[in-house]
Amino acid sequence: MTTLLPTYADVEAAARRLEGVAHRTPVMRSRTLDRLTRATLFFKCEHFQRAGSFKFRGAYNALATLPEAKRRRGVLTYSSGNHAQALALAGRLLGVRVTVVMPQNAPEVKRAATAGYGAEIVLYDPEQITREELGRRLAAERGLTIIPPYDHPQIVAGQGTAARELLEEVKSLDVLLVPCGGGGLLSGSALSARALAPRCRVIGVEPERADDATRSFRTGRLHRVHNPDTIADGARTPSLGEVTFPLVRQYVDDMVTVSETAILQAMYVLWERLKLVVEPTGALPLAALLENRVAVKGRQVGLILSGGNVDLRRAATLFAELNQPPELPPSV
């Protein structure tokens, strides 16, 4: 069966469902980083979203559009954390039972928050079985509907509302930088940009160590990774999906990758200079600018900070290992 790809009309419908439920997150500025990059930067702060990331938008939209009979039986997902939390919260709000398949090495802060929202957590060893395989087996045994983290039309439509809000507020962007794991946020953002700012270049950013989407984008053939060793745990997804891959290929202008050092430096800058507690995956767009992976001089640039569900003790350890914090111009 062929899956229908979402359009901007689906993003608009998702925005109506999310009105009054999801937060309209703020857009922040930094004169210091404007001076450093010689551009005008607009940070869309999705770490202030409910459940701590943009994922709430898609999760709520997917559950809200689910037929009542399926809602009564419950849903299942597999996630390292942010989608798990988001779906658990959406399930609590809509009265839907949620089961989450989660890797044993998922950040403790995300695991605890997921349980706190009332979801049942099923842990697994990524070296022994894939989350998709275990999820399909459990869903079949229990009669649950699978709501995947990114490869779902209503998930993509919901995620696209973040960029929609940014473009409604800023009006004109030349470049939009978006973190990329499985491509749900990137796909939805590209749908919004094409409708609201057709000249805006949409660029996905992922870690060098998890560059499957970049390789897929460049070759036109789906590439995969297996448990990549990156601090950006939200980008450890194995590949783009049946929904996100064609959308990325059609609507995204470019993909770039960044080093682990740049991710950590960007996270450090966001915490210290902007006072924004952003997780490593959310720091990917700024990392691309710190490593000069995108030409932005003289341009208006949007950066989606995708989430802030970070383990503070782990972050302290990472910052302690940062040998060379980035040099910034004086604050103004």
Strand order in the sheet with 27-28: 27-28, 40-45, 300-305, 175-179, 201-207, 254-258
Distance from chain centroid for Cα 239 = 14
Nearest to 54 by CA among 256, 222, 301, 304: 304
Burial letters for 222-242: b for 16+ Cβ neighbours within 10 Å, e otherwise? ebebeebebbbbbbbbbbbbe
Nearest to 188 by CA among 218, 150, 242, 238: 150
Amino acid at 23: H
Continuous H helices in the chain: 8-18, 31-37, 55-64, 68-73, 82-94, 108-116, 131-142, 153-170, 184-196, 212-219, 244-251, 260-272, 284-290, 312-320
- The continuous run of DSSP H or E covering 98 comes out as strand 98-103
**How many angstroms separate the first and last alpha carbons of the chain?**
56
Strand partners, 43: 28, 303
Q: CA 54 to CA 59: how far, in whole Å? A: 9
Strand partners, 175: 201, 301
Judged by DSSP in three states, 282 sits in: helix
Active site residues: 55, 306
Q: CA 191 to CA 201: how far, in whole Å? A: 12
Rounded (10°) CA dihedral 71, 132, 304, 199: -100
Amino acid at 59: A
